[in-house]
Amino acid sequence: MEKLKVLVVDDDQMVRDTLYQLLTQIAGCDTELAETGKDGLEKIQKEEFNVVFTDLTMPEMNGIDLIKEAKRINPYLPIVVITGYGSIDNAVNAMKEGATDFITKPFTIENIMEILNRIKTEPKLIKEIGVEKGSVNLNFLNLALYKKYLSISLLQEVSAELDELYDNKKVYDKVVELGNKLLDVKGTAFLMFENGKVKMRKCIGNMEKFSLSHNNFFSEFFGEGQKPGVFKKTIPNLGQVSNYTEILFAPLTINGEVFGGLVFNGKNDGSGFNEEDIAIANTFAKKVSLRIENNALYEVFYSNLVSTLKSLIISIEARDSYTKKHSERVTNYSLQIAKVLGLSDEDIDVIKFGGYLHDIGKIGVKDTVLLKPGKLTDEEFEEIKLHSVIGDNILKPIKFFPKERELIRHHHERYDGRGYPDGLGGEEIPLTARILAVADTYDAMTSTRPYRKALDHSVAIEELIRCSGKQFDPKVVEAFLECDAGKGIKTEI
């Protein structure tokens, strides 16, 4: 195959360099670079290119003007727009002006190869439908372009929605819902291949009828020697002897290994699956695989981080034998209260992690103050008070824990607004922090300290009730009285 001649027009040197490397060294193209639309246009006037990649915002002449001018010189020149993530509107505008396609930054070699392949095959396609250069059937091309725009924008929407999901259970639910919409089908299923068995994680619509027999039925997709790739299959329609139905299978892969698959059944318009459906299913499955892979990496990272921070807490508590396991007990009590109050799964997770770390800021408090057996001076108390802000600051650089940080920062606020560090009151204090305040105080009262013995459960409860509405949210105190810890029943930690 002849070398493709490519022009890259972008004022950003990094984009130019990256594309130059990808196009020249990996894709084997003959590549020229231009820094502005004006430079690019001059090159297009002088030489013949197979494809132009252009940025939209550039000095001297922007991408849209370049497309217009270049199309005047050669109406059939494929022009691909390079656009930032989320600026699909700009890309659509560029396509209205005649751009052939667009890629979003950051792009991969796969994106580039896909575009180059399309550019190689599209002239063939036009020939196949019998359209001569010069008399292009614009209606046909417009319709094809419109359909492509629809599927691309739907895919963009779909990947944006998937990007928000860190919990695989939510991914399964969303994927089958999006699958039905994207392929316009009656049913979609999400399969996972685990320990030699096929497990149906989620299905909707008419895929539900396969759920009982799925293991035998779908296992052939994962059989030995099964190459990854989308394929369709005609199968007897369950329950009806003479009817056949077509299903489309798109494998989910990580590093080329198939770990699951998406199955689509029954186009809503009654037609069979075509090449375009296969391509969409493939792209969709790739995006889903990436999300699952990212979630797995995130989980490993998250659990490493959690265990590092937990060992930090253990080392803080080891400094002071009286506070041993304090964080664990406080978390346990807080979770019991949260259950009574019906908090969301998300808030429960915040308590599980944030509760454990609520006193992490004590790492910044001097031993002489933290471990002082007697009464603290005003100055020393001011130093102790800093621990909630220090804790918040410790987690600040880690962007995953905004709600945990709030819990840590505000666990010494009071319901009447006389707490620290920000003097928040009532509902201004995050509910998780109001809960932790009750659990924290109860545990402090019922634990032995160097200067006093532990209070009895009943005395501690009386104190909580006395301070309800002042130091504590009455709703939280009430919930505490209802849970095991509040009733004096010890539970396993």
Minimum Å gap between C-beta 412 and Fe ion is 6
d(CA 182, CA 128): 28
Structure tokens at 226: 């099964």
C-beta closer to Fe ion: residue 343 or 439: 439
d(CA 170, CA 8): 40
C-beta closer to Fe ion: residue 179 or 355: 355
Radius of gyration over alpha carbons of the chain, in Å?
Answer: 31
C-beta closer to Fe ion: residue 35 or 443: 443
Chain position whose Cβ is nearest to Fe ion: 359
Draw the binding track, 264-293, toward Fe ion (x: CB under 5 A; -: no contact).
------------------------------
What DSSP character marks residue 452? B
d(CA 388, CA 316): 14
Helix or strand or coil: residue 6? strand
Draw the binding track, 343-382, toward Fe ion (x: CB under 5 A; -: no contact).
----------------x-----------------------
What DSSP character marks residue 455? P
Do the beta carbons of residue 433 and residue 420 sit within 8 Å? no
Draw the binding track, 302-341, toward Fe ion (x: CB under 5 A; -: no contact).
----------------------------------------
Cβ neighbours of residue 429 closer than 8 Å, sequence gap 6 or more: 410, 413, 415, 419, 473
C-beta closer to Fe ion: residue 8 or 337: 337
Cβ neighbours of residue 104 closer than 8 Å, sequence gap 6 or more: 83, 84, 85, 87, 91, 156
C-beta closer to Fe ion: residue 359 or 473: 359
E strands, 154-256, in order: 185-194, 197-205, 231-236, 244-254
C-beta closer to Fe ion: residue 347 or 413: 413
**Greatest alpha-carbon span in the chain:** 95
Minimum Å gap between C-beta 180 and Fe ion is 49
Draw the binding track, 88-107, toward Fe ion (x: CB under 5 A; -: no contact).
--------------------
Cα 121–125–129 angle (5° rounding)? 170
C-beta closer to Fe ion: residue 317 or 359: 359
Minimum Å gap between C-beta 465 and Fe ion is 22
Binding region for Fe ion (CB under 5 A): 359
